[in-house]
Amino acid sequence: MVAISPLVHAQPIGEKRVTLRGLNWCAYQQILHALPQSRSARLTYDRGVLEITMPLEDHEFALRLIELFIRVLVYEMGMKIKTMGSTTIVREDLNRSSEPDCAYYIQNQPKVAGRKINFATDPPPDLVVEIDISRSDIDKNRLYAAMGVPEFWRYNGQEWQIFQLQDIEYQECDRSPTFPWVEKEYLYKFLNQAQQDEIAAERELRSFVQQQLGEGKR
């Protein structure tokens, strides 16, 4: 596969954000429950700071394709998955809560399959993905590290960063611990191709993954 560098374009505006400060947990909960469940806005609360994010077109485009990228890898590798989407991860004990772009149970899927999650007692998602094209006022790395999320992906519209939890903080790594043979160039190429034809990009990705697995690169 030809190496593809991170996407380099004029930085788009991927989200609109509103930040409220000085809110206690009770005030955050009141706002959360006052909003409709069908809303597109996502809420992130971190010890008194509430950030409301409204995703725009570039954000949603990247998100849907990264979701597809993950699902193709999981399917072709014969893994299991429980998709959480933007389910609110509530951790009152940490005074933190988040609605990530997408979250997954993969390694811990057997522990949570077929039932609703209780984040007070169940393990956190194995993988959380955030698209932050515009700057966030909340330190997402610190937030998800505190929640104990083992693997965290960030994509800013140009660069894919992979973080693995080591003790109590994240260390950036070149490859995903969940998909250790997958190079970053694979995602960049997939996103580039999908700009023109999403179906063709998916078809080529599946073919490439099958070829790599056939060569024993698990």
Tens of pLDDT, residue by residue over 86-141, are: 999 999 999 999 999 999 999 999 999 999 999 999 999 999 999 999 989 999 99
Q: Annotate 61-108 with DSSP letters as a single string.
A: HHHHHHHHHHHHHHHHTT---EE-TT--EEEGGGTEEE--SEEEESTT
Question: Which residues does 211 contact at the CB level (< 8 Å), separation at least 6?
Answer: none
What is the band of 11 on the pLDDT scale with cuts at 50, 70, 90?
A: low
Confidence at 216, pLDDT banded by 50, 70, 90 = low
pLDDT in tens, 186-209: 999 999 999 999 999 999 999 999
* pLDDT score recorded for residue 214: 83
- Decide if 125 contacts 148 (C-beta within 8 A): no
Residues 6+ apart with CB under 8 A from 7: 157, 158, 188, 191, 192
Whether 111 and 123 have beta carbons less than 8 Å apart is answered as: yes
Give the model's pLDDT for residue 2.
42
What are the tens digits of pLDDT across the range 155-173?
Answer: 999 999 999 999 999 999 9
Helix axes 198-214, 57-76, angle to 10 degrees: 30
- Tell whether the model's pLDDT for residue 5 goes beyond 90: no
Decide: 132 and 53 in contact? Cβ < 8 Å. Answer: no
57-214 CATH fold: tt1808, chain A (3.90.1570)
What is the distance between the alpha carbons of residues 218 and 33, in angstroms, rounded to a whole number? 44
Question: In the prediction, which pLDDT does 13 show?
Answer: 76
Cα–Cα distance for residue pair 55/73, rounded to 1 Å: 25
Q: What is the mean pLDDT of the chain?
A: 92
Contact predicate 204/71, CB 8 Å: no
DSSP-derived 3-state class of residue 144: helix
Residue for token pair 């999981």: 74
Question: 66-85: per-residue pLDDT in tens?
Answer: 999 999 999 999 999 999 99
For residue 212, CA distances in Å to 4, 79, 173 come to 17, 16, 21
> Would you place residue 1 in the very low, low, confident or very high pLDDT band (cuts 50, 70, 90)?
very low
How many angstroms separate the CA atoms of 74 and 90, rounded? 26
**Three-class SS state of 7:** coil
- 56-66: per-residue pLDDT in tens? 999 999 999 99
